[in-house]
Structure 1
Amino acid sequence: MKLKKVGLSLVALATATSLLLTGCSATSNSASAGSKTTINLYSNGSDNVRITWEAVLEAFKAKNPNIDVKLQFVSSGTGGQSAVDRLIAATKAGQKDTDIDIMETTDNDISRLDSEGGKDILSQLPADKIPNLKNINSKSTVGGDRTMVFRGSTVLLAYNSDKVATPPKTDKELYEWIKSHPGRFAYNDPTTGGSGDSFVFTALYNMLPAEALTSSDPKWKDQWQPGFDQLKELHSYMYKASGKVQYPAKNQGTIDLLASGEVDIIPAWADMILDQKSRGLLPQSIKLTQITPAFTGGVQTLAIPSLSKNKEAAYKLLDFVASPEGQKLFVEKQKAIPVIDNSQLPKETLAMLAGLDVKEFRSYSIGKLNDDEKKMWQETIATLK
């Protein structure tokens, strides 16, 4: 009997050892069947961005139960350390891995990563591991095949239709409207939000060749002056508080002025206006319109650091985001502009973007020049009396 017990113990031990080794092997390979992998997704922005990601990750989890995605979210204005800063610091410190598996980025982020961390700081995205990558109809001129564009948004004119029966249709008409309605227009400080930056950028780049919209060549800075002269001319007609021209902080700052009736027209991110109207946070009298040439928009991209040890699982999340199901969620939850062909999305989903002509989405990618533009605005416009 003792030998039998020993025999059973040895068999049990062998079985347990085999299972343990199998488990170790599965853990070391995130693509192995039955393994459990945890990855970190770093994002930032307004609260609607967080809410959207939570919905997307819930849907992803339902299809990929073996992958847990932890959303590391930094809200705008909180001053938390960004994923870009963390990754650059880790790279400079010579670390061999990072807890950042996927990061939401802009072209300016990519430019910083390249200049401070080197071109190899981000991993190239393999098309064979992300089949839905072929669906994406937009590409970052800075990130190239190291980033995946996953959503877009554009800046439109938001206006109070109770006060403005016929909104401006062109940039020239808008500038004339501003001059004939002193104090009834506002755009936010471009260093605090993208809608104000788009207003400034459009004033500069409407006077430049189309190729400048996707070029980081410093030569274009020499041609900005006419645009800044236009902004100087408009300065005294902007929204005033206590008798002084004010450029509100953040995108929400100008939206609040419009909602309260202190101004009648503002440049605003379409997704923010559509989202807040759908939740009853803005009066129904607030409407959107596009001018010609259109205000610029922007695309958000996703990137995978080269130091990530969970690339296989990260590829799966990117593939879901690029799928029709993933893109549908970004439209429905955030009112984002999809980056796949509209024919792949339900008509009722696209109807949520009513008033937004996505065919005229005017993206731009100028790298570090965007920082130079904001700095020049602070020096030449913000200092005006």
Structure 2
Amino acid sequence: MRTGGDPAQRRAEDATALARALADALAGGPPVVLGDPPPRPVPAGVALVLRTSGSSTGVGRPVALPAQALAASVAATHTRLSGPGRWVLALPPVHVAGVQVLVRSVLAGTEPVVAPPGPFDPDALAATLGAAPDDAPLYLSLVPTQLHRVLAEGGAALEELTRCAAVLVGGAATPRTDLERARAAGVRVVTTYGMTETCGGCVYDGVPLDGVRVRLREGRVLLGGPTLAAGYLDDGPQPFEADADGRWFVTSDAGELDADGRLRVHGRVDDVLVTGGVNVHPAHVERLLEPVAGEVVVVGVPDPEWGVLLTAVVTRDVPLEALRDAAGHGPQAPRAVVVVDTIPTRGPGKPDRRAAAALAAAALDGRTER
């Protein structure tokens, strides 16, 4: 590991070195393996082995991404946007959203613009965007927490976001209020849905990219098309299947198709909380609470009366009654609120529900009000 020197320069050099390795792998060279080596051999044709964030189990799984799938993902992304462009790296290139910034840059033939290292800073992002060349469409990928902080900061950070031909936001659900504020300010926000197993985002603003297929099975989302991974390189289950329509990845997400055919994702199937005998999707409740709570994650705390006590973990000091009003006072209305400085996250900015639930349980320990 290199030491000394300017941290920003080192990060740029590391990104350049990784981009070169990815370019070689995409051209048929040795695969790029990020993280611990997988327990199984890397199949031929795989350019990248990348671990999932482990948001449900706490342990990431190694995913084999073929060069052909990565290329299909990049081509479909650029077709949906304004064509090949210059990408800004504001995410760590250890998860699919950050690595895809480099893959897209390689296949577009452009040098990525690299934000400085360290905790996310809207002012630093503003300076990075301000120094970016204007010789091609400028693209940026963020997670919802980063967008929220830019909106809270306003000023130069928000103004520079309007330079971008598109700001892709994914990795977790984006609060509706943040989307509305960003778009009202002139930011061309594109919400993305996908995962490591689909080479990242493959559904933009609810509409599948070219070649991507969406199917629902008893409310569970299945994804198909040319961007699918070859599989996991471990001994765990392989949630891939094939039929006459091709291969499918069976996601852990619940969703529905709107009347206009747009996909609406409700949250993970295994995140469903049973409170008082009623199934509640935390992500749905979070959307109801966002206008009054801001950053919020809904968790269940074990409770002798309700089974689990529906609890809102928030960063804004909001009265419980205001949250219950926002949720409609039904079974999906929270019965407790816990205020924290920051919502715990995992991987590329996803809420860490297990950590949030542990914080909530500790905060509510000994409380009798229900």
**TM-score, normalised with respect to structure 1:** 0.28
Between Structure 1 and Structure 2, whose CA radius of gyration is higher?
A: 1
From the two aligned structures, give the one with the greater strand fraction: 2
From the two aligned structures, give the one with the greater helix fraction: 1
**TM-score, normalised with respect to structure 2:** 0.29
